[in-house]
Structure 1
């Protein structure tokens, strides 16, 4: 079957198996690459979404779920990718200057945020991450598709976002961001895109529209991001991660192409056009 049996459990009361199988997703229209300025008086956080925590913090049982009003929703499936005016929604999994390796559980119904586990223990980075870190909803890096330039397949996760703005986001927050570049990280042979973005209400957001603007208004920041993700596994005795395209941060147009491509891969997975061989939760 295209959908794994585990993915047919309902996310909220009253959703049946027939509804889960019949759900179809229509791709969001491709947004223009040019980004219109965002008024600094606006807020980047989308307050329509709230969080419910279940289980004790710092335990294997901890989960953070998402609600829209009274409805429990999947942050991966039910929050739209595009936010209008060339902006995107992203979900913050790891606020800046924290080290707990939190992530959206793509294999659990309603895809809550949980802490990653290895050998039965909660995972932490060896040092704090210096930026807000999260994921783009309705994107998927298909492990069955090999990038012809990089000769690496996707890592089976949504696309990651490194938000470089000045404010500290909150775990589980949904924010509007402006994507401006992307790094092609190769982790254990898997392609793991890192989109560089800035929050829509950051004081420098209007000044940053492409990768060269990042160097001008956030000098050295992209190199810091690259080095952090390149080296963070070294303290655990693992080799450094690699990056494609000669370590270059690709421009806005390239970034939007990557995002659209991974969104289309997600749509195929969600609709059943691509078999769910990874047993991901599609509800």
Structure 2
């Protein structure tokens, strides 16, 4: 199995620092693509340090059995909820705490909720329940943000699998669960990519 039930740490590339809007997005074709996201009242910019797991991919040709939608053709997204405002392009090491399944324009976009291992709260946050206890209202605000973040562009509100409920980190860390078959490593022999990618995993 790709993952085990020990603490697992992931390297994440920060694409959007918290409270900012300019997004440097990874692409399977280009190194980075730049976007800009409108503000969603009452939030100013992104609600988290938003990033991605390098060289992962949510397959647009595969219908996820949990969401009944295809992948969004992007890497796995990570919402880092620590106190530091990171920099665009910064690589941070995180522990994943749980997962949210966003349905955006009928595509599945898994959002991993994570904490920077260097954050002062890292030792107190080991699960989604810990987030609820330590950061009251943060998960609800995250759902609200993702529900409405494309409305300023004239698009409808997004919806969620599992009725918008966060799933715990064991679903996330199970290579047959969170990542399911909807996301695969770009190293798959079925893809013609010019590089040999990998997920960087640290077991402690």
* Inter-partner Cα distance in structure 1 for 2:182 and 2:53: 9
1:89 counterpart = 2:11: yes
Match of 1:106 among 21, 25, 28: 28
Matches within 5 A, 1:1-283: 30-35=2-7, 86-108=8-30, 111=31, 113-116=32-35, 123-127=36-40, 128-257=45-174, 258=177, 261=180, 265-266=184-185, 269-272=186-189, 274-276=190-192, 282=195
Unpaired segments ≥5 residues, structure 1: 1-28, 36-85, 117-122
Partner of 2:200: none
2:120 & 2:79 partners in 1: Cα distance? 17
Structure showing greater Rg: 1
Write out per-residue CA displacement over residues 116-170 of structure 1, whole angstroms, 9 at most, x where no aligned residue: 3xxxxxx333351121000001311011111112210101111000000000111
Moved over 3 A (4+): 258-264, 280-283
SS for the counterpart of 1:129 is coil
- What is the alpha-carbon distance in structure 1 between the residues aligned to residue 29 and residue 178 of structure 2? 21
Separation in 2, partners of 1:270, 1:148: 23
State the Cα distance separating 1:259 from its structure 2 match. 5.2
What is the TM-score of this pair, normalised by structure 1?
0.62
Any conservation in 2 of the 1:139–1:262 contact (CA below 8 Å)? no
Structure 1 residue 275: Cα displacement: 3.9
Residues 139 and 259, structure 1, Cα contact 8 Å, conserved in 2: no
Shift of 1:265: 1.4
Name 1:68's counterpart in structure 2: none
Q: Cα RMSD between the aligned structures?
A: 2.0
Question: How big is the shift at 1:264?
Answer: 6.9
Separation of aligned partners in 2, 1:188 and 1:253: 27
TM-score, structure 2 as length reference: 0.85
Rate the CA distance shift 1:196–1:103 in 2: closer, same or farther, 3 A: same
CA distance in structure 1 between the aligned counterparts of 2:59 and 2:27, rounded to whole angstroms: 16
d(CA) in 2 for partners of 1:282, 1:244: 33
SS of equivalent residue, structure 2 residue 21: strand
Asked if structure 2 preserves the Cα contact closer than 8 Å seen for 1:159 and 1:262, the reply is no
